[in-house]
Amino acid sequence: MLWGSRKTINMNYFPDEVLEHVFDFITSHKDRNSVSLVCKSWYKIEKYSRQRVFLGNCYAICPERLIARFPELKSLTLKGKPHFADFNLVPDDWGGFLYPWIKAMAKSRIGLEELKLKRMVVSDESLELLSKSFPNFKSLVLVSCEGFTTDGLAAIASNCRFLRELDLQENEVEDHRGHWLSCFPESCTSLVSLNFACLKGEINLASLERLVARSTNLKSLRLNRAVPFDTLQRLLIRAPQLVDLGTGSYVHDPSSEAYNKFKAAIQSCNSIRSLSGFLEVAPRCMSAIYPICENLTFLNLSYAAGLQSNELTKLIQHCRKLQRLWILDCIGDKGLGVVASTCKELQELRVFPSNPFDAGNAAVTEEGLILVSEGCPKLNSLLYFCQQMTNAALITVANCTNFIRFRLCILDPIKPDPVTNQPLDEGFGAIVRSCKGLKRLSLSGLLTDQVFYYIGMYAKKHEMLSIAFAGDSDKGMLYVLNGCKKLRKLEIRDCPFGDAALLEDMGEYETMRSLWMSTCDVTLGACKMLAKKMPNLNVEIINESEQTESNLDDSQKVDKMYLYRTLVGHREDAPEFVWLL
Amino acid sequence: MVNGGSESGSTSSVSREDNMVVSSEDSSSPDESELELGLGLSLGGGGGSKMHRASKCGQYARILTAQDFPSSSPPPPSSSSSSSFSLSGANVTTGTKRTADSVAAAANGSCQVAGWPPIRAYRMNSMVNQAKASVTEGFNSTTTENCRKETSMVENSTIGSYHSSGSNTNASRTSLFVKVKMDGIPIGRKVDLNAPESYEKLAKTLEEMFLETTPSANPAGSRARQHDVTNKTTRHSKLLDGSYDFVLTYEDREGDWMLVGDVPWEMFGSLVKRLRIVRKSEATGLAPRTEERNQRQRRKPV
């Protein structure tokens, strides 16, 4: 036996449990995928030890098959609708339903503990079934989801005895003003994270206080607008150990008793590193939080519409350790200058527009961005809504070579460089050339095929690209498809890319998660051909007009096309306005 | 390898396929909720695909901004271009092919811009609601007592609303599309509640959508259409004043169906989930109008 093949020796040498223990240290999905491909034995061990699964597209595989593959599943992340659904471009009822997943996992007695969802339709029924089917369920994170009401939340609160995390981010929740929060039983003391900032209705404040008081492990608490300042102050007294705080209403009279109490309470909250909320804010009351500013690493004031630039800058001057900042553009270019000189640890900046429909009056321009890029050497992630941008500015910003995510939105999307009247090809070209680690890019402004030439040439690590109103011809799209081999998600709107670009390299789409094209020059015939030649892709057309599939001929352009790779063919839950080719 | 027929294949190829799908984490979505950027302009709302095709000749319709939405009459083309757009006077060669029939689009009040700017719908709706809340603080019955007390103290020093900052005083023109269905018509439509400025305008939009583009769903409908043609500009909305066989109702956030028109217009958008134009005879629970009762009595056989 000793002299048998080396492969035999290696495989038989370690018992399964040892291999399993070794695999425990392999946490990245990519690596685990590789491990499973080595041989049958490793495949089997990996399969039974895999607990965390990430599915970027819920239609790429069906629940039954996933469960068969990973029967020990404990933590599942699912994404549903295409990204542009966030901007109302995908009609209701398109899909992305959670229920089939819960039903299948319940049936197979999966020991689910964590569920994280993005852009899915979550019904109350599915929440209720979830709460009753998984006794060890610990964590529910819903981002940009819809379809549920506070009744569903009541079920979660009532039935998940070991719940640690309930995190609701920017969901559309129908608020029945029931007492969902009161449904947490007195015996529930396990909460670590509670975020209900997106709920619109009132909650039982007394229940909230009691819940916070008995949740001694609570680290993260984000309140909604209905929680008044008074209650906030009392909650802080009960939970001085908080690390992440989202205020509800921050409106009060600076001379009031409540304010004084608040100031005292916040002083003992030494652990707060992350601050958000201020959904309703009265000016001149922000000085109360200065004491905790010096330790903040994340500050989100993007919903605090009542704060003017001078207040914002005064506040930020106290935040020397800030790593992530989300803010409204009313901070202005000068305010961004203060950010640049104060926040030397800054890694991520997001500047949202306070007047999104007033393209000529956005308060920040290329000036602010230049200041930040020059002042914050660690900056690697950017989302910037602005009034204008110049090539010169982008070339300067490109000196900040660390960018991983770079999303620029000029509110007037085909605006050229206002100084030279040129397209912004050179500016973006500089960004992709110098930022070798760039994974995500969103373009805007006047752009020709040239920018895609640069992207194809330099953007080797790109994973996600968002394009609109850009390019002159099919060449643009072809540069991207040919050059960006790591591309996973490509989304295109209102660009002159047509059939030739779509069909040139159909195999490429199997290496990507998905492609979205709307208001481009792609015809129905080309989509049909693509669907026919590539059985591993689902090609879906979203058609909201009154025309039916039969009276639209192949030469007509499609409104919206979404294609994605899948193992399980056509989905069965598509509504009538989605044509599965 | 197609669909689920992989059982006969080797496990490693199944694994490879599965693994492609069960991919590594996104770089695009770190922990926090994201505003993900995508840009685009597509013309939605009333007019649907026809409008879309018409303006596609230039393909890049001009971006409609708040200034474009007509209050009474469409703005003249030149002023709307210069007030909201950058290409006027700019380098013409690259710019012209991107201007399209958007002026025609602007003239039609029911045409809206979807998906622009690329801000998550939740955030947009929250901006609108913040503005409305500051306008209607007194009416809003959902604020707690404390809240109301505190807000009234600082009312005059401008509680945060997205529109008090900056010099722009126009109300936010985010799209707020809701579904509309009419009894007897199987296909529903969508209407942007932020486009019209009053109940009258909304009702007119809906009348244009349903009563002029569909074949008569009932005899009353065709009578109404004739009536339409003659008195188009001067009549009040039949949907609102109860003189018509249909009434306009809406489903509120609590799931109840209510008659449109009770609450101040400014509040309406934040309350409504969807609209329905129902036959008066089926609007049980809503008090029948006097005229209808009279008509019914007249029709009764003697």
A55, A177, A521 ranked by CB distance to B22: nearest: A55
**Chain B hits for A546, Cβ within 8 Å:** 48-49, 187
Among residues A170, A310, A157, which one has the least CA distance to residue B126?
A170
CA–CA dist A500, B232 (Å, integer): 48
Q: Is B21 in contact with A404 (Cβ distance < 8 A)?
A: no
Q: Give the integer Cα–Cα distance in Å for B279 and A421.
A: 57
Closest residue in A to B68 (Cα) is A357
> Is B2 in Cβ contact with A56 (below 8 Å)?
no
Average pLDDT for A198-202: 91
What is the mean predicted confidence (pLDDT) over B67-84? 38
**pLDDT over 80 at A452, yes or no:** yes
Across the interface, of B16, B129, B143, the residue whose CB is closest to A37 is B16
Q: Which residues of A touch B114 (CB under 8 A)?
A: 87-89
pLDDT of A355 above 50: yes
* DSSP calls for A118-167: ES-B--HHHHHHHHHH-TT--EEEEES-EEEEHHHHHHHHHH-TT--EEE
Of A87, A174, A423, Cβ closest to residue B121: A87
Taking the CA of residue B237 and the nearest CA in chain A, the distance in Å comes to: 26
Q: What are phi and psi of A136, to 5 degrees?
A: -100, 20
User: CA of B302, closest CA in chain A: separation in Å?
Assistant: 45
CB-based contact A350:A383 (threshold 8 Å): yes
Residue numbers in B near A69 (CB within 8 A): 18, 22
Q: Which of A135-139, A144-148, A561-565, B259-263 has the lowest mean pLDDT?
A: B259-263
| Alpha carbon of B226: minimum distance to chain A alpha carbons (Å) | 25
- Edge-first strand order for the sheet with B272-279 is B189-192, B177-182, B272-279, B246-252, B257-259
**Do the beta carbons of residue A305 and residue B162 sit within 8 Å?**
yes
Q: Residue A525 has which token pair?
A: 């015939």
d(C-alpha A521, C-alpha A325), whole Å:
39
- What pLDDT score was predicted for residue A497? 96
Q: To the nearest whole number, what is the mean pLDDT of chain B?
A: 54
Pairing of strands A165-169, A193-195: parallel
Between B39, B142, B151, which is nearest A413 by CB?
B39
Nearest to A463 among B28, B49, B175 (CB): B28
Contacts of B157 in chain A (CB under 8 A): 282-284
- Mean pLDDT, rounded, for A102-127: 97
Reported ipTM: the value is 0.89
Q: Do B119 and A60 touch (CB under 8 A)?
A: no
Task: Answer yes or no: are the C-beta atoms of A471 and A448 closer than 8 Å.
Answer: yes
Q: Give pLDDT, residue A11.
A: 54
User: What sign has the CA pseudo-torsion B251, B257, B260, B265?
Assistant: negative
CB contact under 8 Å between A493 and B115, yes or no, is: yes
Closest to A494 (Cβ–Cβ): which among B40, B154, B161? B40
CA A58 – CA A98 distance, rounded (Å): 9
**pTM (2 d.p.):** 0.73
- For an interface test with B, which of A567, A570, A577 has the most B Cβ atoms less than 10 Å from its Cβ? A567
Whether B8 shows a pLDDT value over 80: the answer reads no
pLDDT band at B161 (very low <50, low <70, confident <90, very high): very low
| pLDDT > 90: percent of chain A | 78
Question: A409 and B24: CB-CB below 8 Å?
Answer: no
CA pair distance B278, B249, nearest whole angstrom: 7
A485-506 tens-digit pLDDT: 999 999 999 999 999 999 999 9
Nearest to A198 by CA among A220, A227, A219, A218: A227
pLDDT tens, position by position, B216-249: 444 444 444 444 444 444 455 667 777 778 888 8
A475 against B238, higher pLDDT? A475
Q: Give the gap in angstroms from C-alpha A304 to the nearest C-alpha of chain B.
A: 7
Q: What's the CA gap between A495 and A477, in Å, rounded?
A: 9
Closest to B66 in 3D by CA, of B168, B206, B191, B192:
B168
Q: Are B147 and A228 in contact (CB under 8 A)?
A: yes
Residue of B2, B11, B28 to mutate when probing chain A, most A C-beta within 10 A: B28
For residues B171 and B196, give the distance between their C-alpha atoms in angstroms, rounded to a whole number. 12
Residue of A29, A200, A521 with shortest CB distance to B22: A29
pLDDT at A27: 75
Q: Which of A209, A283, A551, A511 is nearest to B161 (CA)?
A: A283
| Among chain A residues, CA nearest to B134 | A280
Average pLDDT of the residues of chain A:
92
8 Å CB contact between A99 and A123: yes
The model's confidence at residue A317, banded by pLDDT at 50, 70 and 90, is very high
